[in-house]
């Protein structure tokens, strides 16, 4: 009799536990990677979607929070500070990029290759004559190579936020070493205005 | 004797003024003068970018606590002027390695700025609105003025000197 009761209790126990667990599981989504007895792949996917949306929502919230904090901070700033920021933005926009390779365009007697050739190679500038000259026969390619090296590695002479930038470097051009300055227009991708040797410094 | 500066260039009557126009600078201490003109090889310089570099360089040395020397070289030229800081706000100006003047920094700032400002008053409006130098010149002057007035608090401001638009001079 006792054995029969124990057997029935054991059977009931074995049957009841899985049912209880199953009933509890019905109320929650399965954890990621958990293989639900009744769950399907679709249910897993939907569950993961819900989880992902939750993460995105948290990200959105924190981004909104950051914007709100930023706005609060900005509203606390005075006008002068805002002006400085605006001014810095404008200035940064003007800043010459040393990585943009300077190029010598044809130009005219005031700037570019025509000016450089007349003023600093042949010396046959019609109104001003010869300035300080590179060695005769210096080519546009040699000067362009020099300009590239000076802009990239030379000393910046001008204020870094000016549109017209001046750089300087000791460099050999067509067999002669000189202190050479190059002037570029940073807003036209470092168009070379002039390049010339400095002999007085 | 104050330092004086004279800026000249040849305006071509049939062509608009360019920001890269070549011209000359003459600097005088009342006893002797030095000029970029009449030199061999010719030392004409691109006046407008040279002015920008002069104002910016001078501003830097006047503001800096560590920079002791600024050598200004005319753009497209080898004509140079050196500014060397001394003790107690003194500054020496050398042209072609000759001492031109030894004076207070505040005075030198004013002596350099005034003729440049007068020159720009005459010529800046002749530049084309899209000239690459226009904004650099305006900003260089704007940046220099606070330094000038900081060194010379007694100076009347530009607004006090110049009549406002619509006012009779």
Q: How confident is the model at residue A69 (pLDDT cuts 50, 70, 90)?
A: very low
* CA distance linking residue A112 with residue A147, whole number of Å: 12
pLDDT at A82 over 50: no
Cβ of A159 within 8 Å of Cβ of B140? The answer is yes
Tell me which of B128 and A87 has the higher pLDDT.
Answer: B128
Q: Is A83 helix (H, G, I), strand (E, B) or coil?
A: helix
> In chain B, helix, strand, coil percent, each to 5?
35, 25, 35
DSSP-assigned letter for residue A155 = E
Q: What is the pLDDT of residues A38-64, one digit of tens each?
A: 444 444 544 454 444 444 444 444 444
**pLDDT for the residue numbered A11:** 65
- Bridge partners (DSSP) of residue B28 are B4, B33
Of B23, B1, B8, residue with least CA distance to B115 = B8
Q: Which residues of A touch B (CB under 8 A)?
A: 110-111, 115, 119, 123, 125, 127-133, 157-159, 161-164, 166, 181, 183, 185, 187-188, 193-194, 196-201
- Sort out which chain B residues have CB atoms less than 8 A from A111's CB and list them: 18, 20
Q: What is the mean pLDDT of residues B14-41?
A: 94
Residue A106 contacts residue A114 (beta carbons within 8 Å) = yes
pLDDT at B35 over 70: yes
Of A42, A22, A46, A44, residue with least CA distance to A33 = A44
> Can you give the pTM of this predicted structure?
0.72
Count of CB atoms situated within 10 Å of the CB of B137: 23
- Bridge partners (DSSP) of residue B69 are B84
**pLDDT for the residue numbered A145:** 97
How many CA within 13 A on the CB side of residue B40? 0
**Which has the minimum average pLDDT: A86-100, A141-155, B41-55?**
A86-100
* CA distance linking residue B151 with residue B90, whole number of Å: 12
| Structure ipTM | 0.90
Residue A188 contacts residue A97 (beta carbons within 8 Å) = no
Q: How confident is the model at residue A12 (pLDDT cuts 50, 70, 90)?
A: low
Is the Cα dihedral A17, A18, A19, A21 positive or negative? Answer: positive
Q: B72 to chain A, minimum CA–CA distance in Å?
A: 9
Q: What is the mean pLDDT of chain B?
A: 90
Taking CA atoms, A27 is separated from A21, A22, A23, in Å, by 11, 9, 7
Residue B113 contacts residue B26 (beta carbons within 8 Å) = no
Q: What is the pLDDT of residues A17-35, one digit of tens each?
A: 555 545 444 444 444 444 4
> What percent of chain B is modeled with pLDDT above 90?
77
Residue of B nearest to A195 (CA): B76
- Sort out which chain A residues have CB atoms less than 8 A from B133's CB and list them: 163-164
- Sort out which chain A residues have CB atoms less than 8 A from B78's CB and list them: 132, 197-201
SS (H, E, C) B77-103: CCCEEEEEECCCCEEEEEECCEEEEEE
Here the tokens at position A61 are 């919230």
Residue of B nearest to A107 (CA): B20
**pLDDT for the residue numbered B116:** 96
Q: What is the pLDDT of residues A124-135, one digit of tens each?
A: 999 999 999 999
Q: Match 């006012």 to its residue by tokens.
A: B167
Q: Show which of residues 36-95 on chain B sit within 8 Å of chain A, judged by CB atoms.
A: 41-44, 46, 49, 52-53, 56, 60, 71, 73, 75-80
* CA distance linking residue B155 with residue B148, whole number of Å: 9
Q: Is A35 helix (H, G, I), strand (E, B) or coil?
A: coil
**pLDDT for the residue numbered B56:** 98
Cβ of B79 within 8 Å of Cβ of A200? The answer is yes
Closest Cβ opposite residue B78 in set A110, A161, A200: A200
Query: Omega into B41 within 30° of 0, i.e. cis?
Result: yes
Tell me which of B43 and A33 has the higher pLDDT.
Answer: B43
**pLDDT for the residue numbered A200:** 75
Q: Does B145 contact A at CB distance below 8 Å? A: no
Residue B46 contacts residue B76 (beta carbons within 8 Å) = yes
Q: What is the pLDDT of residues B54-107, one digit of tens each?
A: 999 999 999 988 889 999 999 999 999 999 999 888 999 999 889 999 999 999
Here the tokens at position A136 are 């005769």
Cβ of A199 within 8 Å of Cβ of B56? The answer is no
Count of CB atoms situated within 10 Å of the CB of A122: 14
* CA distance linking residue A117 with residue A194, whole number of Å: 10
DSSP sequence for A111-179: BHHHHHHHHHTS---TTT---S-PPTT--HHHHHHHHHHHHHHSEE-S-TTSSEEEEEEEEEETTEEEE
Q: Match 């470092």 to its residue by tokens.
A: A190
């Amino acid at each position: 009799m006792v054995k029969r009761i124990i057997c029935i209790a054991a059977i009931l126990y074995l049957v009841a536990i899985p049912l209880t667990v199953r009933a509890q599981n019905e109320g929650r989504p399965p954890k990621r990677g958990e293989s639900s007895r009744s769950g399907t792949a679709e249910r897993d996917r939907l569950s993961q979607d819900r989880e992902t949306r939750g993460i995105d929502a948290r990200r959105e919230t924190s981004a909104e929070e950051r914007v709100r904090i930023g706005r609060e901070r900005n509203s606390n700033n005075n006008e002068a500070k805002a002006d400085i920021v605006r001014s810095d933005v404008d200035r940064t926009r003007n800043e010459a990029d040393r990585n943009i390779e300077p190029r010598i365009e044809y130009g005219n007697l005031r700037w570019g290759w025509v000016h450089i050739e007349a003023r600093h190679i042949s010396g046959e500038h019609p109104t001003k004559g010869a300035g300080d000259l590179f060695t005769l026969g210096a080519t546009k390619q040699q000067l362009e190579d020099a300009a590239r090296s000076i802009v990239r590695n030379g000393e910046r002479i001008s204020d870094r936020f000016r549109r017209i930038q001046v750089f300087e470097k000791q460099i050999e051009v067509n067999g002669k070493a000189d202190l050479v300055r190059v002037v570029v227009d940073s807003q036209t991708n470092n168009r070379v205005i002039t390049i010339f040797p400095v002999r007085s410094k | 004797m104050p330092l004086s500066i004279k800026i000249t260039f040849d305006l071509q009557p049939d062509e608009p003024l360019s920001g890269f126009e070549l011209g000359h600078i003459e600097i005088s201490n009342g006893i002797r003068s030095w000029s970029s003109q009449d030199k061999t090889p010719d030392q004409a310089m691109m006046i407008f970018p040279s002015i920008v570099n002069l104002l910016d360089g001078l501003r830097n040395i006047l503001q800096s606590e560590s920079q002791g020397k600024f050598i200004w070289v005319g753009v497209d030229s080898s004509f140079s002027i050196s500014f060397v800081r001394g003790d107690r706000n003194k500054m020496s100006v050398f042209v072609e390695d000759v001492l031109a003047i030894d004076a207070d920094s505040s005075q030198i700032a004013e002596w350099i700025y005034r003729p440049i400002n007068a020159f720009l008053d005459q010529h800046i409006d002749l530049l084309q609105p899209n000239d690459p130098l226009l904004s650099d010149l305006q900003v260089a002057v704007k940046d220099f003025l606070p330094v000038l007035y900081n060194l010379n608090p007694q100076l009347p401001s530009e607004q006090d000197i110049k009549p406002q638009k619509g006012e009779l001079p």
